[in-house]
Amino acid sequence: MCGIVGYTGIKNAKDIIINGLKTLEYRGYDSSGIAFVNEGKIEVYREVGRINALEQLVKDVQPAHIGMGHTRWATHGKPAKENSHPHTSTNRLITLVHNGVIENYLEIKNELLKKGYTFSSETDTEVVANLLEDEYKKTKDMKQAIINMMKRVHGSYALGILCADSSDTLYCAKNKTPMLAGVGEGFNMIGSDAMAMIKETNKFIEINDLEFLVVSDKNIEIYDQDGNAIKRDSFTSNVNANDISLGTYDHYMLKEINEQPTVIRTLLKEYLDNGKTKIDSQILSEIKNADRLYIVASGTSMHAGYVGKYLIEELASIPVEVHIGSEFGYHLPLISKKPLFIFITQSGETADSRVALQLVKKHGYKSLTITNVAGSTLSREADYTLLLHAGPEIAVASTKAYVAQVTLLALIANELASNKLDLNLELSKVATSIEDIISRKDQIRKIVTDRIVYSRNAFYIGRNLDYYVALEAALKLKEISYIQTEGFASGELKHGTIALIEDETPVLAIISQKHIALNTRSAIQEVRAREAMTTIISMEHVANDDDNFIVSDTHELLAPLAMVVVTQLIAYYAALAKGYDIDKPRNLAKSVTVE
| Residues annotated as catalytic (active site), given as ranges | 2, 590
Q: Of 369 and 554, which CB lies nearer to ligand M6R in the complex structure?
A: 369
Q: Of 398 and 554, which CB lies nearer to ligand M6R in the complex structure?
A: 398
Which member of 90, 95, 175, 347 binds ligand M6R (CB under 6 A)?
347
Which member of 99, 121, 148, 298 binds ligand M6R (CB under 6 A)?
298
Tell me the CA distances in angstroms from 528 to 128, 138, 594, one per residue in order: 58, 73, 42
Reference 29, options 57, 56, 1; nearest CA is: 1
Total binding residues toward ligand M6R, as defined by CB under 6 A: 16
Dihedral over Cα of 197, 343, 158, 57: its sign: positive
Segment contacting ligand M6R by CB under 6 A, of 67-75, 84-92, 294-302, 456-464: 294-302
Which member of 237, 300, 385, 512 binds ligand M6R (CB under 6 A)?
300
CA distance 209 to 189: 18
DSSP 74: -
Cβ-closest residue to ligand M6R? Answer: 299
CA distance 538 to 567: 12
Pair 461, 470: CB distance under 8 Å: yes
Give the three-class secondary structure for 484.
strand
Pair 461, 490: CB distance under 8 Å: yes
Q: Which long-range contacts (CB under 8 A, 24 or more apart) does 471-476 make?
A: 471/303, 471/306, 472/300, 472/303, 472/304, 472/402, 472/564, 472/567, 473/508, 473/510, 473/564, 473/567, 473/570, 473/571, 475/299, 475/300, 475/303, 476/300, 476/397, 476/399, 476/567, 476/568, 476/570, 476/571
Residues 350-409 that bind ligand M6R (CB under 6 A): 350, 353, 396-398
Reference 192, options 122, 302, 98, 272; nearest CA is: 98
Q: Of 56 and 587, which CB lies nearer to ligand M6R in the complex structure?
A: 587
In angstroms, what is the minimal distance from the CB of 263 to ligand M6R?
15
In angstroms, what is the minimal distance from the CB of 301 to ligand M6R?
4
In angstroms, what is the minimal distance from the CB of 479 to ligand M6R?
5
Pair 334, 382: CB distance under 8 Å: no
Q: Of 316 and 388, which CB lies nearer to ligand M6R in the complex structure?
A: 388
In angstroms, what is the minimal distance from the CB of 141 to ligand M6R?
39
Q: Of 350 and 538, which CB lies nearer to ligand M6R in the complex structure?
A: 350
Bridging pattern class, strands 506-511 and 533-539: parallel
Q: Of 161 and 565, which CB lies nearer to ligand M6R in the complex structure?
A: 565
Binding mask of the shown chain, residues 442 to 481, with x at each position contacting ligand M6R by CB under 6 A? ---------------------------------x---x--
In angstroms, what is the minimal distance from the CB of 179 to ligand M6R?
17
Our finding on whether 345 is near ligand M6R (CB under 6 A) is yes
Our finding on whether 299 is near ligand M6R (CB under 6 A) is yes
In angstroms, what is the minimal distance from the CB of 395 to ligand M6R?
8
Q: Of 378 and 461, which CB lies nearer to ligand M6R in the complex structure?
A: 378
Reference 123, options 147, 165, 163, 88; nearest CA is: 88
CA distance 37 to 25: 23
In angstroms, what is the minimal distance from the CB of 570 to ligand M6R?
14
- Give the footprint of ligand M6R on this chain (CB under 6 A): 298-301, 345-347, 350, 353, 396-398, 475, 479, 591-592
